[in-house]
A = this chain, B = another copy of it.
Amino acid sequence: MANPSVSEPSGSASATQRAYGRLRDLIVTGELKPGEKLKIDGLRQRLATGASPIREALSLLTSDNLVERFDQRGFRAANVSENNFREILTLRCSLEDMALRQSIENASQAWEEHIVLAHHRMQRAHTEQSDEFEARHKAFHMALLSAADSPILLKFCSQLYDLNIRYRYLAGNALHYQQRDVTSEHEQILTACIARDTQTAADTLLNHYKTTGAFLTGLLGTGSL
């Protein structure tokens, strides 16, 4: 399968959790395409599990905006559109800005160490071309926000992260060229956070998103997707 896995260990406890994580990966990575009908029975076989866990997982994904439910007519992978992407990008900028500022405000030594570690792990995964890079990348970004002491806000950010990264996968290799200075951008953000330089951190972070975002919007606009 060779699946990157944006999420946590998939060997976890309940079948529902496994199905949830697995399906989310499939959708985020585009293996299940936007708008694609998600037939219970098909997925049941694919994930080798019963219908109940599948349905529950799909319900959860519905709340994450990754799946659309049509009463009595099953589920589909959520559609994509330029508008949708713009919305995600805009919201993400607003909410992460908010969260990052709160996070830095509450900054503690533990948090500082946490982000340093998360950054390092991401870096290592990157140089090693590891499968884990995606997970580490998300972990780093969430770590930045983690001191915000606002679980709901963090949950929103996490959801938006997934929604956003889905578009990156859809753009696929078109995006590889611009592995540009992402690394340096990450370092800048990290440095600013350690220095408790809220403004720079926020500016850099948002710019980080907007740059990638603008590029993706371009692709979407040209109908490449």
Contacts and interface: CB of A to CB of B under 8 A. Distances in A.
Nearest to A155: B65
A63 to B, nearest CB: 3
Given A14-B72, A17-B71, A71-B14, A90 B150 contact: yes
Given A14-B71, A56-B55, A94 B98 contact: yes
Dominant SS at the A interface? helix
Contacts of A98: 94
Contact of A60 (B17, B62, B149): B62
A60 B153 CA distance: 18
A87 B56 CA distance: 28
A156 interface: yes
Given A56-B59, A63-B63, A64-B63, A72 B152 contact: no
Nearest to A14: B71
24 contacts: A13-B72, A14-B71, A14-B72, A52-B52, A52-B55, A59-B60, A60-B62, A60-B63, A63-B63, A63-B64, A65-B155, A87-B150, A87-B151, A87-B152, A87-B153, A88-B152, A90-B150, A91-B150, A91-B152, A91-B153, A94-B98, A152-B160, A152-B163, A156-B156
